Amino acid sequence: MKPTRILLTVIIIALLSVAPSAQDAQNPQAIKISEFPQEMREFYTTANGLPSNDVERIWIDNDDNLRVSTSQGQAIFENNGWRKAESDAPAAPRIFVQVPMAKGTNVILVDGKKGRMAVDLHSGLFPPSEQHWEEGAKYGAIDKDGNFWMAGPRGVVCRKNDHTWHLITGKEGLPCNDITSMASSLDGSVWFGTSKGAIRYDGKEWRYRQGLRWLPDDEVRDVAVTVDNSAWFATKAGVGVIRFQPMTLAQKAKFYEDQIDKFHRRTEYEYVLEVALDKPGDTTVVHQHDSDNDGLWTAMYGAGECFAYAATKNPQAKDRAKKAFCALKFLGEVTQGGSNPAPKGFVARSILPTSGQNPNDNDNAERDRNANRRDSLWKIIEPRWPTSEDGKWYWKTDTSSDELDGHFFFYALYYDLVAETPEEKEEVRAHVGALATHLVDHDFCLVDHDGKPTRWAVYSPKSLNLDPRWYAERGLNSLSILSYLLTAEHITGDSKYAEAADRLVTEHGYLQNTLVPKIQAGPGTGNQSDDEMAFMCYYNALKYEKDPQRKALFFRSLWMYWRNEEPEMCPLFNFIFAAQVSGGDSSQRFRVNPRALEEAVDQLVRFPLDRFSWGHTNSHRLDVLPLPFQQGSRGGAKGYRVNGRVIPVDERFFNHWNTDPWSLDTGGNGGELADGAVFLLPYYMGLYHGFIIEG
């Protein structure tokens, strides 16, 4: 059973529209977007003047002051801080609804700011039927359009000003039902405080705000909304506020790029990666570190800057792309010579300075032997971190296929969009030629300093087609090597790479292999790293394949793969699919659903500026259904929303697009700051391909 796919039109905060312009005429699928309200949160505690962090109520008093009641007295908000109130004021009564308990009762009592009101059921304000009423109904609010909202045990009831009644539960998108407070906003939205987070409903979408990304504490005791539409929350850990700052996607991109320049560039070659923090949510002290995939993440960051330069001609984008190329190129240079030289063309996973701790103390053959007991193909190699010829660097061996997918994806973009002079072009040709020749000369495998293939970068026909241990990788690795060879032929002009690809297709069935690129049992199953790898390879394979029949098979493979990924709303995958289908499928057999582009842009709009690794808990939500298939699950609850889509990006934490978006509980304690390359690549790709028009 696949996740339910209810075809809803995604309206992005009423700011996205298909607008008639010259560029729209060239790309009728373009989405025009101007400023949107970016959510920003801030917390206030005793350090900001609160008498106590134990905040019980929050309201707008009769003098239009924002006021709180705490266990140690009241305080008033002014000058972005709190001062203790000279005298206590009566808290604004919650709008409390007392429902009729017996059939025939004609009065409902509503406690509000103006006192208690008696409302006759037969007046038409409330229905004579008791179907919407039950014991325990509480808290009401009236929005700017005159709709009456009430919280009850079964959900939220809305009596619209057309006299119709609507019971809203998890089936209609309500995330939580244990509502503690309610407040309406001048922009027409309604905020709900709950025992586990806050909820905002703008008439179209439900947004769930839970965890330290959004709130000082999940138990929201009270909520108030000020005239600027900021939502204020009273919790036992202080006051929180979610404000709305006008922002464009370009401004958001600059924010992430500035953060990367400040925190995320490691070594003189500037590999881009997340950083660890001394204190959760505090960037005063950051600790840079290496990873198994330094080349991949730096390549994907650099790819975004290639698109940025092509779309904007900003020279700073070219400089950043150039740095990324030099960093990846050095991963090939550092392996030559030294203590254990690798064959020419081999690229390392990562580097570390020899002035630091020796990584072989922990990452060694003994550790490999333990891993090999669980995985018979695990590579035992010593040293896993050889030293460079100049003695300055350790470099990591056993480079994987996902590294190469990232490398080739980036090299093609850098060559086509950034490298402009003959010298720049030749530098790319030489490096890519060495890497591609290494693969061709070693039976389509990446061979390490020990003369043996690495654990994952194996593309040999005798392994993929004849060794049953490689059946799961057969489709993806066939796609990868064909993509590499087509890219190398395009960049170098050397026909030997196209001839090698032709042999794999005609003699070993590699193109047929790509028709099953992933072993999976429906949306949400399998390895999400494979998805990220596959889509980068599709981008190049479809771009550089010249044979129409072969290209048609690549299109079919991509279309089937994307149908599996569609519920994930990944802007990178959606834009890659749209770019290649729109740009290369002359038969028009495969079409882009406009919803895919709307969802891609919506995720970019919703992308949080806060990239700390705060925990998000979604497994308790009423609007979430369990994922039927759990193939390859590494533990933890998995599911999707009642609209058939995964949890959106602002309600979960992830570092990269290889993270499982079907996992419901994500993140940690905020002790890590992720970089914004995960936003930059799809944003600039969408801009370059004309799917996004700003202004």
State the average pLDDT over residues 103-112: 42
Q: Give the contacts of 386 (CB within 8 A, at least 6 positions apart).
A: 335, 338, 339, 340, 341, 394, 395, 397, 449
Give the residue among 399, 404, 388, 299 at the shortest CA–CA distance from 352. 388
283 and 205 within one domain: no
180 and 63 within one domain: yes
Q: Give the contacts of 17 (CB within 8 A, at least 6 positions apart).
A: 31, 32
Give the integer Cα–Cα distance in Å for 671 and 682.
Answer: 26
Binning pLDDT at 50, 70 and 90, where does residue 572 land? very high
Count of CB atoms situated within 10 Å of the CB of 298 = 28
124 and 81 within one domain: yes
64 and 25 within one domain: no
Instruction: Determine, yes or no, domain membership for 302.
Output: no
410 three-class SS: helix
79 and 215 within one domain: yes
192 and 78 within one domain: yes
Is the distance from CB of 683 to CB of 306 less than 8 angstroms?
no
Give the residue among 519, 298, 554 at the shortest CA–CA distance from 409. 298
Give the integer Cα–Cα distance in Å for 603 and 598.
Answer: 9
Instruction: Determine, yes or no, domain membership for 307.
Output: no
Instruction: Determine, yes or no, domain membership for 462.
Output: no
CATH code assigned at 206: 2.130.10.10
Interval 414-423: pLDDT, tens: 999 999 999 9
Binning pLDDT at 50, 70 and 90, where does residue 589 land? low
Interval 186-210: pLDDT, tens: 999 999 999 999 999 999 999 999 9
Instruction: Determine, yes or no, domain membership for 189.
Output: yes
Give the integer Cα–Cα distance in Å for 652 and 659.
Answer: 11
626 and 576 within one domain: yes
Give the integer Cα–Cα distance in Å for 207 and 401.
Answer: 38
Out of 13-27, 38-52, 506-520, 677-691, least confident range: 13-27
25 and 90 within one domain: no
Residue-level pLDDT at 153:
78
- Whether 268 shows a pLDDT value over 90: the answer reads yes
274 three-class SS: coil
- Whether 565 shows a pLDDT value over 50: the answer reads yes
Residue-level pLDDT at 137:
60
Is the distance from CB of 268 to CB of 275 less than 8 angstroms?
no
- Whether 109 shows a pLDDT value over 80: the answer reads no
- Whether 636 shows a pLDDT value over 70: the answer reads no
Q: What percent of the chain has pLDDT over 70?
A: 87
Instruction: Determine, yes or no, domain membership for 534.
Output: no
Interval 425-467: pLDDT, tens: 999 999 999 999 999 999 999 999 999 999 999 999 999 999 9
State the average pLDDT over residues 608-627: 96
- Residue 633's Cβ-count burial label (10 Å; 0-12, 13-18, 19+) is middle
250 three-class SS: helix
- Whether 102 shows a pLDDT value over 80: the answer reads no
Comparing 166 with 469, the larger pLDDT belongs to: 469
270 and 210 within one domain: no
Binning pLDDT at 50, 70 and 90, where does residue 525 land? confident
Instruction: Determine, yes or no, domain membership for 625.
Output: yes
Beta strands in 396-530 (DSSP E): 445-447, 453-458
217 and 275 within one domain: no
Task: Tell me how many domains the chain contains.
Answer: 2
Out of 16-20, 199-203, 356-360, least confident range: 16-20
Interval 224-245: pLDDT, tens: 999 999 999 999 999 999 999 9
User: Which of 246, 274, 304 is at the close of a domain?
Assistant: 246
Comparing 62 with 671, the larger pLDDT belongs to: 671
- Whether 15 shows a pLDDT value over 70: the answer reads no
242 and 254 within one domain: no
268 and 241 within one domain: no
Residue-level pLDDT at 630:
57
User: Which of 183, 214, 246 is at the close of a domain?
Assistant: 246
Residue-level pLDDT at 519:
85
Give the integer Cα–Cα distance in Å for 34 and 648.
Answer: 21
Q: Which domain covers residue 689, as residue numbers?
A: 1-35+248-289+569-695
Instruction: Determine, yes or no, domain membership for 124.
Output: yes
pTM of the model: 0.91
